[in-house]
Every structure is written in C-alpha cells, then in structure tokens.
Structure 1
Amino acid sequence: MRQSRGGGANIVEIILAVILPPLAVFLHDGIGTSFWINIILTLLFWIPGIIHALLVVTDTI
C-alpha cells in the first residue's frame, strides 16, 4: 500500500537506498519486479543496486 508523498521521496527511503537498497525498494513499491531486480543487482554488484534503489525511490523509473 503506497501513501501519497507529494511526489518526492522521504529522507528515510533515500538513506535506506544507500545502506540497504532492497529494503528501500520494498518500502517504496512492495514486492514486485523492481524489488527482485534490486536484490539481484545488490547481491552481484552492490553499487548498481544502490543506483537502482535511488532511481526507484525518487520515482525516476
């Protein structure tokens, strides 16, 4: 269940995107395609997982 945030990501999600990228994506979108893609990126390469999480959390993708 997504809450209306006024179009921006909150600071907690951005911090989580850097520390625990899959958790940030899960809190933002729930378990879906973006979550599983982020799990794979984080497990394999970490930095792409962070980049992907930041893009998801800021609603860029």
Structure 2
Amino acid sequence: MAVPSTILLVLITILMPPVGVWMIAGCGPDFFINVCLTLLGYFPGHIHAFYLEYVYYDRREQAREGRFTAARAPGVYSERVQSGGQGYGTIVQPAGTMQ
C-alpha cells in the first residue's frame, strides 16, 4: 500500500476505528470485536484497531523481505492480518527442498 493510502487509513481509523479494521481485516471476528470495543469506549476501539494495523504492516514488510513469522500474533483472528495480506495463494518451495 502506498504512503497516501496508509495515511488515509490512519485518518479513517482515528475517526471511526471499526471502518479502519474493516479495510484491513474484512468483515470477520476482528471487525466485530472492534465494534464492541468501540461501543464500550472510544479508546479501546482505537487501541485494537491500531494494533491490527501494526501487525498487518509489520507482517507485510516481513513478507517483502522474505522472512516468515511462524508465531501467530495474539488477539488477531484474521488470516489476512496474520499474513500481512500475503497469505492468499500457493507457497512455492525453494529449489532443492522438494521431495
């Protein structure tokens, strides 16, 4: 995602945390958890939303560098966030390791 889109995502998350979560995680458990946290208080929704965005962008950067994080991030239920948006598709085995 380009820098302007990231800035737009952060601004949207500041105004409406569930919309920011929906943009990166889709309509799933993380979105509904964020809606509940936002209804309980505005700041818990922000903390959860920015945590999901941090995990998403961190995992995305790791995937670009060729590193793979085997451990799941705690409290994140979206596979898209866990993989940094890179988890859809076939994983190609490096040459020489196929059996």
Q: Give the root-mean-square deviation of aligned CA atoms.
A: 1.9
Counterpart-to-counterpart distance in 1, 2:47 and 2:12: 12
Deviations 1:15-49 (A, max 9, x none): 11111000000011100111010000001111010
Specify the alignment match of 2:15 in structure 1: 19
List gaps (5 residues or longer) in structure 2.
Answer: 57-72, 74-99
| Alignment partner of 1:54 out of 31, 39, 50 | 50
Unaligned runs of 5+ in 1: none
Q: Percent identity?
A: 33
What is the CA–CA distance in structure 2 between the aligned matches of 1:19 and 1:43, rounded to whole Å?
14
Higher helix share: 1
CA drift at 1:12: 1.3
TM-score, normalization: structure 2?
0.49
* TM-score when normalising by structure 1: 0.76
The higher radius of gyration belongs to: 2
Contact kept, 8 Å, 1:13 with 1:57, in 2: the verdict is no
Q: How many residues of Structure 1 are paired with residues of Structure 2 in the alignment?
A: 55
Runs of 4+ in 1 over 4 A off after TM superposition: none
Q: Does 1:45 align with 2:31?
A: no
